């Protein structure tokens, strides 16, 4: 019981050392009120001492009040000095503890002093003492409100002796003053305690609110970080890249004389086959390894981010002079020099880079990025593994492309598009076995636009989905009138292969054409299928299920691995024209072509060599066992009305095969000039 009372008393009389926030709040509220309290005590003491001077002994009117006031003034000075100082939690505890102890001492001291004066005065002066004690105790209680223990201590040390002293005086007036004072003191103490608990609640709810706010802030910081970070590699992501690009461009624009910056987009070469063959998990780990290596080797001032897939992007404001640019080029090539080791697998990949410079080629972040992207596209097409900067030539090409885009949008496609046919001949007999359908566009505004241009434009704008079925319908209309044994070969674009809807449209065109699907070859390119191997394979299987055959066009120009090609349901491979062009003067080219023909036939594909232009090339291919050929040596692409004559003439010509050297030329001259 006693122990419980002592421990409760200890709790009430101690500052809150388990709640730093409450303690700090008390300290700051308290430090504002302490000077007022001491001023009140000192002035009241002076008033009492002055009236009793001469009546009471000097030690009661001069020395004792002097000492007590001096202590008050010293404490005031200490609090005053500390008002702007930031103090630690431990210091605050020490201060408040010493204040509570001193409150006890001063409370007891002033009580004893004022009660000692009581016997020296008349009734008025005794009233003054009672008034002094009551007013000072209540004033101090209010000033100490935020330090509950000190307030209670002072009240107790003044009120208890005061009521006891006056109550036991035997004087009815004094006893009634004592009772009044005790009632007021109880009411004041009650108010103090209520106020104190409200204060505590306010501080605690404030600190809970602040804790909640801090938690929310931390959550919002994490969200911000996550929304700006690429989860896989930990690099900044696309959104962060654009924000940083805008920021750096604004800085550079403010100092146009000195500041230039470059945006470079890095696209990994050879990543997709690894991803397809070894799985996405391996692909992810390779991307992480690439990100780590890039970050470790690039200058820390270079901002590096991952755009998504196998594309990374960097912003540099250092690579401005020629020497630095050359060094940066070398570094980027070096970074991919060493293979990547992932578990037991050693993989080698490269990269193509396109970059654009601010403010030289673009003024806005979007334009700058688009130009770097175009340079990358160019690198992928023409300089794989290289670094290409966006130039004036590219600008002109883009302008031209946009003119083509516009013209294509406004074209009457049904009227302006037509099909040219180029024969593919059997190497042994020189007999025409197939015609490749090649799209032609005569635009009223631009004249003849090569297919390589308008097909790319149609792919870009999405018009290809409409174009391919239309071209196929036109191509099959021609083929429907040919002898049954003559096949038709039709080129599909990458977008056709990755759109199930397009494949359905293509199937429907075939079914309505009157041409047996078994007479049709669909040509696809490596690059077209590698974009999405799984979907492309599904599309090709659907076409094969129809009865059509599949040819891999321009073989040798793409960057797919043979193992990927083996996955495709192919029937034929067309070796790109670039392999035949050099065979007359380059023995190595002969060897390469021979190997490619051997490879295709060895894998069970029918082999066609494109771009045969001379008799010597044709002879070489015949001796190498190539089965089919296509090229200007036999015929250029021709209009549909010439095809029937060509078939008739070529079949005649084929009979004279043994004296073949002048054969093709005579066939071509018999049907007139070729049409491009
Ligand atoms: P491709 O499918 O590889 O077609 C062969 C291209 O080589 C044709 O160019 C043809 O005219 C040309 N060629 C044929 N023999 C020789 C030769 O001996 N020497 C030279 N120098 N060139 C020869 P064209 O007609 O300009 O077509 C270019 C490309 O446009 C085609 O390449 C094909 O990828 C694409 N293309 C053409 N028509 C279509 C189509 O209807 N749809 C799609 N998606 N692409 C098409
Ligand atoms: Mg083709
Ligand atoms: Mg080709």
- Each residue's pLDDT tens digit, 307-318: 999 999 999 887
Distance CA 272, CA 526 (A): 12
- Percent of the chain scoring above 70 in pLDDT: 89
Question: For residue 585, what pLDDT is reported?
Answer: 83
Nearest ligand, CA of residue 492? 1
Is residue 578 lining ligand 1, measured as CB closer than 6 Å? Answer: no
The highest-confidence range among 126-130, 179-183, 258-262, 305-309, by mean pLDDT, is: 305-309
Q: How far is the CA of 438 from the centre of ligand 1 (A)?
A: 6
Q: Which atom of ligand 1 is nearest to the CA of 525?
A: 34
Decide if pLDDT at 141 tops 90.
Answer: no
Q: Which atom of ligand 1 is nearest to the CA of 452?
A: 30
Q: How far is the CA of 129 from the centre of ligand 3 (A)?
A: 117
Lowest mean pLDDT among 68-72, 262-266, 638-642: 68-72
Distance CA 157, CA 112 (A): 9
- Pseudo-torsion of CA 528, 534, 538, 541, nearest 10°? 80
Mutation test residue for ligand 1: of 454, 491, 506, the one with most atoms within 8 Å of CB: 491
Question: What number is the average pLDDT over the span 337-341?
Answer: 92
pLDDT tens-digit map of 364-375: 999 999 999 999
Q: Which atom of ligand 1 is nearest to the CA of 420?
A: 25
Question: For residue 294, what pLDDT is reported?
Answer: 94
Distance CA 661, CA 539 (A): 42
Question: For residue 17, what pLDDT is reported?
Answer: 63
Question: What number is the average pLDDT over the span 653-669?
Answer: 47
User: Is the alpha carbon torsion for 293, 294, 299, 301 positive or negative?
Assistant: negative
Nearest ligand, CA of residue 611? 1
The highest-confidence range among 77-91, 553-567, 652-666, by mean pLDDT, is: 553-567
Q: Whose CA is closest to atom 46 on ligand 1?
A: 491
Torsional class of 430: left (φ above 0), alpha (ψ -120 to 50), beta (otherwise): left
Question: For residue 366, what pLDDT is reported?
Answer: 94
Lowest mean pLDDT among 118-122, 396-400, 502-506, 653-657: 653-657
Is residue 491 lining ligand 1, measured as CB closer than 6 Å? Answer: yes
pLDDT tens-digit map of 580-599: 998 988 889 999 999 999 99
Decide if pLDDT at 608 tops 80.
Answer: yes
Decide if pLDDT at 90 tops 50.
Answer: yes
Quick one: which of 468, 453, 362, 466 has its CA closest to 406? 453
Question: What number is the average pLDDT over the span 52-56?
Answer: 86
Question: For residue 665, what pLDDT is reported?
Answer: 47
Lowest mean pLDDT among 272-276, 466-470, 485-489: 272-276
Distance CA 362, CA 400 (A): 18
For residues 106 and 488, the model is more confident at 488
Question: For residue 670, what pLDDT is reported?
Answer: 40
Question: For residue 530, what pLDDT is reported?
Answer: 78
Decide if pLDDT at 118 tops 70.
Answer: yes
Decide if pLDDT at 414 tops 80.
Answer: yes
Is residue 493 lining ligand 1, measured as CB closer than 6 Å? Answer: yes
Question: For residue 458, what pLDDT is reported?
Answer: 94
Give the model's confidence band at 659: pLDDT under 50 very low, under 70 low, under 90 confident, else very high: very low
For the chain, the first-to-last Cα distance in angstroms comes to 113
Q: Which atom of ligand 1 is nearest to the CA of 633?
A: 18
- The chain-wide mean pLDDT, for the chain, equals 85
Give the model's confidence band at 674: pLDDT under 50 very low, under 70 low, under 90 confident, else very high: very low
Question: What number is the average pLDDT over the span 78-91?
Answer: 72
Quick one: which of 332, 328, 341 has its CA closest to 312? 332
Q: Whose CA is closest to atom 41 on ligand 1?
A: 439
Q: Which atom of ligand 1 is nearest to the CA of 523?
A: 2
Quick one: which of 371, 365, 368 has its CA closest to 396? 371
pLDDT tens-digit map of 200-239: 777 677 777 777 888 878 877 777 777 899 999 999 999 9
Give the model's confidence band at 489: pLDDT under 50 very low, under 70 low, under 90 confident, else very high: very high
Is residue 438 lining ligand 1, measured as CB closer than 6 Å? Answer: yes
Decide if pLDDT at 660 tops 50.
Answer: no
Question: What number is the average pLDDT over the span 23-41?
Answer: 75
Nearest ligand, CA of residue 422? 1
For residues 194 and 51, the model is more confident at 51
pLDDT tens-digit map of 534-554: 899 999 999 999 999 999 999
Nearest ligand, CA of residue 575? 3
Distance CA 288, CA 64 (A): 81
Question: What number is the average pLDDT over the span 305-330?
Answer: 82
Q: Residues 647-656: contacts with CB within 8 Å, 24+ apart?
A: 647/432, 647/482, 647/483, 647/486, 650/423, 650/425, 650/430, 650/431, 650/432, 651/431, 651/432, 653/430, 654/429, 654/430, 654/431
Q: How far is the CA of 619 from the centre of ligand 3 (A)?
A: 20
Distance CA 106, CA 607 (A): 111
Distance CA 156, CA 103 (A): 11
Distance CA 374, CA 361 (A): 12
Quick one: which of 177, 169, 141 has its CA closest to 157? 141
Question: For residue 663, what pLDDT is reported?
Answer: 47
Is residue 439 lining ligand 1, measured as CB closer than 6 Å? Answer: yes
Distance CA 583, CA 591 (A): 9
Question: For residue 376, what pLDDT is reported?
Answer: 94
Residue with tokens 């043994």: 658
pLDDT tens-digit map of 57-76: 888 888 888 888 888 888 88
Which pTM was predicted?
0.59
Quick one: which of 263, 260, 373 has its CA closest to 320? 260
Q: How far is the CA of 608 from the centre of ligand 3 (A)?
A: 10
Instruction: State the DSSP code for 614.
Output: S
Quick one: which of 561, 507, 501, 556 has its CA closest to 533? 561
């Amino acid at each position: 019981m006693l122990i419980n009372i002592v421990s409760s008393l200890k709790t009430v009389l101690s500052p809150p050392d388990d709640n730093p926030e409450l303690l700090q709040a008390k300290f700051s509220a308290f430090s504002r009120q302490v000077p007022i309290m001491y001023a009140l005590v000192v002035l009241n003491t002076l008033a009492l001492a002055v009236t009793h001077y001469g009546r009471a002994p000097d030690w009661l009117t001069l020395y004792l009040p002097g000492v007590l006031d001096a202590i008050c003034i010293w404490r005031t000075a200490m609090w005053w000095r500390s008002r702007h100082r930031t103090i630690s939690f431990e210091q605050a505890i020490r201060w408040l503890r010493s204040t509570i102890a001193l409150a006890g001492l001063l409370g007891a001291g002033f009580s004893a002093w004022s009660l000692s004066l009581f016997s020296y005065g008349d009734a008025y002066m005794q009233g003054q003492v009672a008034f002094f004690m009551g007013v000072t105790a209540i004033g101090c209680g209010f000033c100490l409100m935020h330090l509950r223990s000190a307030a209670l201590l002072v009240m107790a040390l003044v009120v208890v002796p005061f009521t006891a002293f006056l109550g036991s005086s035997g004087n009815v007036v004094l006893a009634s003053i004592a009772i009044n004072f005790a009632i007021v003191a109880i009411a004041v103490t009650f108010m103090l305690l209520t106020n104190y608990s409200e204060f505590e609640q306010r501080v605690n709810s404030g600190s809970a609110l602040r804790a909640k706010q801090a938690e929310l802030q931390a959550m919002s910081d994490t969200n911000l970080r996550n929304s700006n970070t690429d989860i896989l590699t930990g690099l900044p992501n696309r959104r962060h890249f654009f924000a940083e690009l805008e920021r750096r461009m604004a800085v550079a624009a403010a100092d146009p004389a000195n500041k230039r910056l470059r945006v470079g987009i890095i696209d990994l070469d050879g990543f997709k086959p690894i991803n397809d063959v070894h799985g996405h998990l391996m692909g992810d780990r390779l991307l992480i390894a690439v990100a780590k290596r890039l970050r470790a080797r690039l200058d820390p001032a270079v901002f590096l981010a991952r755009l998504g897939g196998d594309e990374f992007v960097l912003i540099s404001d250092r690579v401005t002079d020629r020497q630095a640019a050359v060094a940066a080029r070398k570094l980027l090539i070096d970074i991919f020099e060493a293979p990547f080791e992932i578990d037991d697998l050693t993989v080698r990949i490269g990269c193509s880079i396109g970059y654009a410079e601010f403010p030289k080629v673009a003024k806005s972040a979007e334009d700058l990025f688009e130009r770097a992207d175009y340079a990358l596209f160019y690198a992928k097409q023409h300089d794989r593994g290289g670094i290409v900067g966006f130039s004036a030539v590219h600008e002109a090409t883009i302008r031209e492309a946009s003119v083509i885009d516009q013209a294509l949008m406004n074209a009457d496609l049904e009227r302006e598009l037509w099909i040219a046919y180029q024969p593919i001949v059997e190497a042994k007999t020189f007999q025409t076995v197939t015609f490749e359908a090649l799209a032609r566009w005569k635009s009223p505004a631009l004249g003849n636009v090569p297919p390589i241009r308008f097909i790319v434009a149609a792919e870009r704008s999405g018009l290809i989905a409409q174009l391919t079925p239309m071209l196929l319908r036109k191509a099959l209309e021609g083929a429907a009138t040919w002898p049954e044994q003559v096949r038709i070969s039709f080129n599909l674009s990458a977008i056709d292969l990755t759109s199930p809807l397009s494949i359905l449209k293509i199937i429907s065109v075939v079914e309505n054409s009157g041409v047996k699907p078994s007479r049709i070859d669909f040509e696809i390119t490596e690059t077209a299928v590698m974009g999405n191997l799984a979907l492309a394979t599904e599309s090709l299987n659907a076409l094969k299920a129809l009865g059509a055959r599949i040819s891999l066009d321009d073989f040798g120009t793409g960057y797919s691995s043979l193992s990927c090609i083996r996955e495709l349901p192919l029937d034929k491979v067309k070796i790109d024209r670039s392999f035949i062009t050099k065979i007359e003067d380059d023995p190595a080219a002969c060897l390469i072509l021979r190997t490619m023909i051997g490879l295709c036939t060895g894998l069970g594909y029918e082999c066609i060599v494109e771009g045969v232009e001379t008799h010597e090339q044709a002879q070489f291919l015949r001796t190498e066992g190539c089965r089919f050929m296509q090229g200007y040596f036999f015929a250029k692409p021709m209009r549909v009305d010439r095809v029937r004559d060509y078939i008739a003439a070529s079949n005649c010509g084929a009979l004279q095969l043994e004296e073949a050297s002048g054969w093709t030329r005579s066939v071509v001259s018999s049907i007139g000039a070729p049409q491009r």
